[in-house]
Amino acid sequence: MAIDTMRILNEIDKHTTRARSGDSAKVRDSVAAIRALCDLLLEDDQPTIDKQVPRAVPLASPQPQTVTAVNKLKEEDANGDSLFEF
């Protein structure tokens, strides 16, 4: 849906008039509106490019790792197989 260029320019004129006759808060609001309207005009003039939305890449399910051989470390002063037994 394209918006008529003249309608946008008329809105820019309205906000320009408000910015010239208003206080600093109104000036700031009017300038922000003018910026948005200018962006709208510039966006309309550019050829439309298909913007591809980045898609999430499905993660591969982790493959279970199997341990083929267990080599236990034997120490003289160890109390058992647990890691917490000192």
Q: Contact, 12 vs 38, CB < 8 A?
A: yes
Domain assignment present for residue 60? The answer is: no
Identify the pLDDT of residue 68.
66
Domain assignment present for residue 37? The answer is: yes
Q: Show the domain range for 37.
A: 5-45
Domain assignment present for residue 69? The answer is: no
Domain assignment present for residue 66? The answer is: no
Cα–Cα distance, 77 to 82 (Å, whole number): 13
Q: Which residue's structure tokens are 């083929």?
A: 68
Cα–Cα distance, 81 to 86 (Å, whole number): 10
Identify the pLDDT of residue 70.
64
Domain assignment present for residue 10? The answer is: yes
Domain assignment present for residue 31? The answer is: yes
Cα–Cα distance, 46 to 35 (Å, whole number): 17
Domain assignment present for residue 64? The answer is: no
The per-residue pLDDT for range 23-80, each reduced to its tens digit, is 888 889 999 999 999 998 888 665 555 555 666 666 666 677 676 666 666 777 766 6
Domain assignment present for residue 22? The answer is: yes
Q: Please check the confidence at residue 16 and state whether its pLDDT lies above 90.
A: yes
Identify the pLDDT of residue 36.
93
Take residue 84 and report the two structure tokens written for it: 């917490």
| Burial class, 26, CB count within 10 angstroms (exposed 0-12 / middle 13-18 / buried 19+) | middle
Q: Please check the confidence at residue 82 and state whether its pLDDT lies above 60.
A: yes
What's the total number of domains in the chain?
A: 1
Identify the pLDDT of residue 23.
82
Give the model's confidence band at 86: pLDDT under 50 very low, under 70 low, under 90 confident, else very high.
low
